[in-house]
Amino acid sequence: MSRTSTPQVSEACVDFMNIEFVRYAIESSKSSKEPGKSAAHKLERMGFRVGQKLAERYTRSRPRFTGELDRIKFLCKDFWQIVFKKHIDNLRTNHRGVYVLYDARFRWLLTLSGPGALEHAQDYIHFPRGLIRGCCAALGLSCTVSTDVPALPTCTFTVKITNKTTRA
Amino acid sequence: MSRTSTPQVSEACVDFMNIEFVRYAIESSKSSKEPGKSAAHKLERMGFRVGQKLAERYTRSRPRFTGELDRIKFLCKDFWQIVFKKHIDNLRTNHRGVYVLYDARFRWLLTLSGPGALEHAQDYIHFPRGLIRGCCAALGLSCTVSTDVPALPTCTFTVKITNKTTRA
């Protein structure tokens, strides 16, 4: 990872905090009295809240969205830039509420390697899945998000819009 | 909080993740089978690991430290800048291994207000206490850290160096 002369708060800080999130959720699920609440569920819930707050903050002073696609573009460009310092590499849609977001180098999978890495990668996509759902919620879109890691560090997020509120 | 034209990954992202850390640690401690492992302890441990990794990353290509004070200055300036985008406002020392770091506007206390805020503030200083210990550990200094919040959003961290390794 390249270093710039000005220390970048963001990237390393967010990355290391994310690693702790994952480790902690897994650990605490093991010792929890409520095993039904899985680490995946917890991580997604945390991601949801962070995503929602971030989207609320960063849409505060921008022009109104003109439609669903406009909102998804905000997610793929602005929101992804805010969290991951890059845009989603490819966006496809069936124009009926399904959007496939393709990140060729998903930052939270970049450091995984070795045997079991692909399996371990699953732990790292619950939080971002929540982030996406939270961002969409803040933009007035309910959705489900499924993920796929075909090969490290690639990640595909399939967003299915389930209903739309009238919030602009 | 001012917004710049380029979205700042860091600040909001780290802040919201921190809020989730605290909420999660408190929640999971309630439902844990091991109540001895308090939320405070968990948060401090997470902070330690994040602080350690950050300090390791950001000292990688800098010149060797010349002594204890030099390391503490790194903590107060560079490290604080990395995480909180500001320097510690005031540093005092008894020149015998005790350093008092004074942050007049500690970022993670800025949004707290209302009744019970000062009490609630206690939840937000375990993670940064761990961050400081982790940073010091990466720099070869073992220490204990105690905190005081005399009035929001002021925070004082008292760092007591307990032993020194020879790592430069």
Mean pLDDT of B87-113: 94
CA-CA distances (angstroms) from residue A163 to A54, A59, B160? 21, 20, 56
Helix (H) or strand (E) holding A57: helix A39-59
| ipTM for the assembly | 0.76
More confidently predicted of B107 and B7: B107
pLDDT digits (tens, 9 = 90+) for B125-137: 999 999 999 999 9
Tell me if chain A has a CB within 8 Å of the CB of B111. Answer: no
CB contact under 8 A, B7 and A85: no
Distance CA A48, CA B109 (A): 23
**Residues paired with A164 in a beta bridge:** A141
DSSP A114-164: STTHHHHHGGGSHHHHHHHHHHHHHTTEEEEEEEE-SSTT-EEEEEEEEEE
DSSP B40-78: HHHHHHHHHHHHHHHHHHHHTTSPPP-SHHHHHHHIIII
CA of B166 vs chain A CAs: smallest distance (Å):
26
CB contact under 8 A, B46 and A24: yes
Distance CA B93, CA B158 (A): 9
pLDDT digits (tens, 9 = 90+) for B11-39: 778 888 888 888 888 887 776 666 546 88
Q: Is the separation of the CB atoms in B138 and B55 below 8 Å? A: yes
Could you read off the pLDDT tens digit of each residue along chain A, which spans 168 residues?
Answer: 333 333 345 477 888 888 888 888 888 777 666 654 688 888 999 999 999 999 999 998 889 999 999 999 999 999 998 888 899 999 999 999 999 999 999 999 988 888 888 888 988 999 999 999 999 999 999 999 999 999 999 999 999 999 755 444
The C-alpha angle A17, A23, A122, rounded to 5 degrees, equals: 100
Q: What is the pTM of this model?
A: 0.83
DSSP A71-95: HHHHIIIIIHHHHHSS--SEEEE-S
Q: Pick B13's closest partner by Cβ from A16, A25, A82.
A: A82
List of residues 6+ apart from B85 with CB closer than 8 A: A9, B10, B11, B107
CA of A96 vs chain B CAs: smallest distance (Å):
30
Q: Pick B9's closest partner by Cβ from A25, A32, A82.
A: A82
Chain A residues with CB inside 8 Å of B76's CB? none
Tell me if chain A has a CB within 8 Å of the CB of B31. Answer: yes
Residue A21 is encoded by which pair of tokens?
Answer: 């999130």
pLDDT digits (tens, 9 = 90+) for B30-88: 766 665 468 888 899 999 999 999 999 999 888 999 999 999 999 999 999 888 889 99
Tell me if chain B has a CB within 8 Å of the CB of A74. Answer: no
Amino acid at B155: C
CA of B18 vs chain A CAs: smallest distance (Å):
8
| Residue whose tokens read 């990954």 | B9
Give pLDDT, residue A164: 58
Count of beta carbons in the 10 Å neighbourhood of residue A7: 19
Distance CA A50, CA B86 (A): 23
Distance CA A145, CA A86 (A): 20
Within chain B, what is the greatest distance between any pair of CA atoms? Answer: 47
| Residue whose tokens read 């999130």 | A21
User: What confidence tier does B163 reach under pLDDT thresholds 50, 70, 90?
Assistant: confident
